[in-house]
Amino acid sequence: MRPMRRRLPARRGFFAGRYRAALARREGEGTLRSTQAQPAGLVDFASNDYLGLARDATFAAAHFREEAGRTDAQTGSGGSRLLTGASAAHDAFEAFAAAFHEREGALLFGSGYAANCAVSATLPLTNDAVLYDERSHNATRFGLRRSRGTAIAFRHNDVADVASKLRDRQEAGALICVESVYSMDGDEAPLRALAELCLADGRAGLVVDEAHSTGILGPRGAGAVALLPQPLKRAVVAQVHTFGKALGGHGAVICCDATTREYLANYAQPFIYATAPPASHARLARRAYDAVAAAEPARRRLDQLVDLFRAECAVPALLPSRTPIQAVLAPGAAAALRAAERVRSSGFDVRAIRAPTVPAGAERLRVVLHAFNTPEEVAGVARAVRGAVESPGEGL
């Protein structure tokens, strides 16, 4: 008799079963996440809409009125920028962004994640080292796995560690990848010291993710690189300005010199093989830049709210930060979730940040301040957070 063949599970069931096992592991670890709409009735202390532009109905209405009046309006671009997706609106925005950030060139992307992947994957050449901060965003790490360089992590914001690794490297050039403001800690990269290191080395350059500083730091909200003395700006190979935070939209622009811009346009796979954003996207980004450039009163108000929060919260678990991102440690996934739920029960939308987004044991509450939050709301959330981390077992 012919041996009976073992019946294999249906393909769909086979893979779904393995996925269920992976999800069950995360659930057991307390790190399972899910998509969720903004909770109704809670005061927003979770979104990255620092200046309130994303929720500004007047701003949105003006943009949509303008688009409705155009005879060339399109819902999509129809292709890659290198094929049929290019438009005069893309070119005009890139020229504007380059001038605004005082660079020779700029390249528009559909998302900040894609832009950061592009720079970290494409700019390192063969025999280059890439020194990246150990707290660099996932987009940078994802891109580095596709790069030709040798990726080397350095201790967070540790200039001495960077200097040591620059001296010890065997590779030809070196790119140093940092975030001007770190998204989970709210602290700032030592850009001046790093730029000085690069210029002294002569074969090193900086790549700066400006996601959380665009619109917040620098003249007209131009970002942290704009605060560097002019001679030190020569160390910056490229900077990424994303639109999903203070600019209230989506997408990103990489600003750099003209040669680097053309190199990225020819070699960066997230640009070459992606459908271009529609022309309306470029016009919306320009409108957002104009609004943010004029938002100096909102930036001053945010600075005052940061001072107020830190004075009212004032617990040892509060991490150092001068920015709208305020992080309060609540180690352990379950502890962080309980603390966040307790703060939400007081009427404030604050989220728990857990591994793997942050290291295990460094779970935290991430409180994001906005120009539209009132002093009373900020004082209230500070007291709620303080109570949740000082007396974690109460009221649960």
**Segment 121-144, tens digit of pLDDT:** 999 999 999 999 999 999 999 999
Domain boundaries, the chain: 39-55+295-390, 74-293
DSSP structure string for 64-100: HHHHHT-SS--S---S-TTTT---HHHHHHHHHHHHH
pLDDT at residue 282 is higher than 50: yes
Backbone angles phi, psi at 349, to 5 degrees: -85, 100
Q: Give the pLDDT confidence score for residue 275 in this predicted structure.
A: 95
Does the pLDDT at position 315 exceed 60?
yes
Q: 20 burial class (0-12, 13-18, 19+ CB within 10 angstroms)? A: exposed
Residue 114 has pLDDT above 50, yes or no: yes
pLDDT at 8 over 60: no
% pLDDT > 90, the chain = 86
Q: Is-same-fold flag (39-55+295-390; 74-293)? A: no
**C-beta of residue 110 within 8 angstroms of C-beta of residue 273:** no
For domain 39-55+295-390, which architecture applies?
A: Alpha-Beta Complex (3.90)
For residue 116, give the nearest of 333, 313, 264 by alpha carbon: 264
Q: How confident is the model at residue 7 (pLDDT cuts 50, 70, 90)?
A: low
- What mean pLDDT is reported for the chain? 94
| The pTM of the whole model exceeds 0.85 | yes
What is the share, in percent, of the chain residues with pLDDT greater than 70? 96
- Please write the tens of the pLDDT for every residue from 344-364: 999 999 999 999 999 999 999
pLDDT at 37: 77
> Tens of pLDDT along 225-272?
999 999 999 999 999 999 999 999 999 999 999 999 999 999 999 999
Q: Are the C-beta atoms of 110 and 284 separated by less than 8 Å? A: no
pLDDT mean over 138-158: 96
Could you identify the residue written with the tokens 């830190």?
310
Range of lowest pLDDT (15-19, 122-126, 167-171)? 167-171
Q: 30 pLDDT band (50/70/90 cuts)?
A: confident
Query: What local confidence, expressed as pLDDT, does residue 394 receive?
Result: 56
DSSP for 338-390 reads HHHHHHHHTTEE-EEE-TTTS-TT--EEEEE--TTS-HHHHHHHHHHHHHHHH
Is the CATH code 3.30.1370.160 the one for domain 74-293?
A: no
Backbone angles phi, psi at 170, to 5 degrees: -100, -15
pLDDT of residue 71: 87
**Across residues 139-163, what is the average pLDDT?**
96
pLDDT for position 13: 83
pLDDT at position 72 is 86
Report yes or no: 248 and 53 within 8 Å, Cβ to Cβ: yes
pLDDT for 153 equals 97
List the one residue out of 210, 209, 208, 214 whose CA is nearest residue 194. 208
Better pLDDT: 9 or 46: 46
pLDDT of residue 396: 45
The pLDDT tens digits of the residues spanning 66-92 come to 999 998 888 889 899 999 999 999 999
29 confidence band (pLDDT: 50, 70, 90): confident
